[in-house]
């Protein structure tokens, strides 16, 4: 009997596993292989160069710059997205007034949910193209146009948005503007995720807290947040992956894909340039492998740090 089950399971899994091995794992292995060569990408000529490409990574100024930009997103994207998503989820689920019907969200929370979730429905490229119009750096841009009408921005000197490399808090302004889009487009999804988690917290926990005289502030920090720990931790890892990517936004929105003058360069944009314009596939593969290793280490560390005993309810 057991034998039959094994065969049954095998039958189902063999094909997907084979596909996965062939289309995902094997290319990764190949990329790792190419990263040890000087392959140019357009011929079948390649020479084994050992770890030379990896050594080069550490002395590459552009990569260093791109790395710190990715680190900026790695810190800010999860931080701001989760903070905003938690705040919204809290308001929509338990932030409203309490009455005989018990705890509920603010008035009209169903509608807000749809509105906040909406960006998630759009593909990132559509989002980027839309924000291009919002950020347009002359009087026809949405933000510039409105601010010029009410006299807050000089028509001779519009806000430059994607064209602004001037540092704000030590980080080029263009990165902050990109961050705003990333947070705006991501917060809705995590709001829904956190809402679902909040709804699984028994209402009587909240009601007991309110009877004990806890205000919204204390309810949130003493009850909601600790009970959402697992969900937040997972969200943090997902957002970390997104922050390490950011490619679509940078590619569509910034001048010269990573400009102005490298001010918004990230790992993926340098990789793209190295592989497809410089024709150094070997070196580009090394970048990809390095990024993959970094991501895995980060996820492992994250899970380790946040691991705690679960609370059963």
Partner 1 sequence: MSATPDLNRRTLLRRAAAAGLLTVPAAGLLSACAGSEPAQEQSSGAEKSKDNPFGVQDGSSVKVVIFNGGLGDQWAKEDEAVFKAKRPNVTVNMSSTQKIKTEEQPKMATQPSDVVMNSGADLMDISTLVNEGAIEPLEDLLAAPAWDSEGTVADTLLPGTVNDGTFQGKFYVVNIAYTVWGNWYNAALFEKEGWQPPKTFDEFFALAPKIKAKGMAPYVYDAVHGYYPRWALMATIWKSAGKQAVIDIDNLKENAWKADGVLPALEAWEKLVKDKLLLPGQLDHTQSQQAWLDGKAAFIQLGTWLKNEMAETIPPGFEMRLSDYWSLGAGDKAPNDVYAGAGEGIVVPSKAPNKAAAKEFLRAVLSKEGSAKFAELTKSLASTKGSGDNVQDSALASANELMSNAPQDLVSFKFWNFYADLDKESQNLSAELMAGRLTAQQFVDGMQGAADKVASDSSIKKQTRSA
Query: For binding to partner 1 (CB under 8 A), which residues are involved?
Result: 22-23, 26-28, 30-31, 34, 38, 42-43, 123, 125-126, 129, 136-140, 144, 155-158, 160, 162-163, 165, 248, 251-252, 255-256, 259-262, 272-273, 275-281, 284-285, 288
* 86 or 270: CB nearest partner 1: 270
Smallest distance, Å, CB 188 to partner 1? 21
Q: How far apart are CA 120 and CA 124, in angstroms?
A: 8
* 200 or 261: CB nearest partner 1: 261
* 7 or 278: CB nearest partner 1: 278
Q: How far apart are CA 9 and CA 274, in angstroms?
A: 44
* 203 or 278: CB nearest partner 1: 278
- Any residues with CB less than 8 A from the CB of 270 and at least 6 apart, and which? 62, 63, 66, 258, 287
Neighbours of 240 (CB within 10 A): 19
Smallest distance, Å, CB 23 to partner 1? 7
Cα–Cα distances in angstroms (integers) from residue 204 to residues 68, 96, 126, 199, 208, in the given order: 46, 16, 43, 12, 6
Phi-psi region of 262 (alpha: psi -120 to 50; beta: other; left: phi over 0): left
Smallest distance, Å, CB 31 to partner 1? 6
Q: How far apart are CA 118 and CA 133, in angstroms?
A: 18
Smallest distance, Å, CB 5 to partner 1? 34
Smallest distance, Å, CB 274 to partner 1? 9
Place of tokens 């309110």: 210
* 32 or 106: CB nearest partner 1: 32
* 20 or 107: CB nearest partner 1: 20
Smallest distance, Å, CB 255 to partner 1? 5
Q: How far apart are CA 180 and CA 280, in angstroms?
A: 33
- Any residues with CB less than 8 A from the CB of 112 and at least 6 apart, and which? 88, 92, 106
* 78 or 288: CB nearest partner 1: 288
Smallest distance, Å, CB 50 to partner 1? 14
282-40-268 Cα angle (round to 5) = 50
């Amino acid at each position: 009997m057991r034998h039959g089950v094994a065969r049954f399971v095998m039958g189902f899994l063999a094909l997907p596993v084979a596909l996965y091995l062939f289309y995902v794992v094997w290319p990764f292995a190949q990329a790792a292989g190419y990263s040890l060569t000087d392959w140019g990408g357009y011929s079948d000529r390649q020479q084994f160069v050992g770890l030379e490409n990896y050594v080069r990574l550490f002395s590459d100024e552009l990569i260093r710059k791109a790395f710190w930009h990715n680190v900026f997103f790695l810190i800010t994207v999860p931080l701001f997205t989760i903070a905003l998503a938690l705040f919204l989820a809290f308001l929509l689920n338990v932030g409203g007034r309490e009455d005989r019907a018990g705890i509920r969200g603010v008035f009209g929370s169903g509608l807000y949910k749809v509105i906040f979730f909406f960006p998630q429905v759009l593909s990132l490229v559509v989002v980027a193209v839309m924000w291009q119009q919002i950020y347009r750096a002359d009087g026809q841009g949405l933000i510039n146009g409105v601010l010029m009408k009410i006299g807050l921005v000089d028509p001779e000197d519009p806000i430059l948005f994607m064209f602004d490399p001037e540092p704000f808090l030590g980080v080029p302004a263009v990165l902050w503007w990109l961050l705003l889009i990333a947070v705006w487009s991501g917060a809705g999804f995590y709001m829904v995720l956190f809402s679902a988690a909040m709804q699984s917290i028994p209402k009587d926990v909240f009601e007991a807290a309110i009877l004990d005289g806890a205000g919204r502030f204390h309810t949130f920090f003493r009850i909601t947040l600790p009970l959402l720990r697992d969900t937040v931790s997972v969200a943090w890892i997902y957002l970390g992956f997104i922050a390490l990517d950011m490619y679509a936004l940078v590619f569509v929105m910034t001048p010269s894909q990573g400009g102005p003058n490298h001010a918004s360069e990230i790992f993926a944009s340098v990789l793209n340039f190295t592989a497809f314009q410089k024709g150094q596939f070997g070196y580009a593969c090394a970048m990809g492998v390095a990024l993959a290793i970094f991501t895995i280490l980060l996820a492992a560390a994250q899970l380790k740090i946040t691991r705690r005993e679960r609370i059963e309810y």
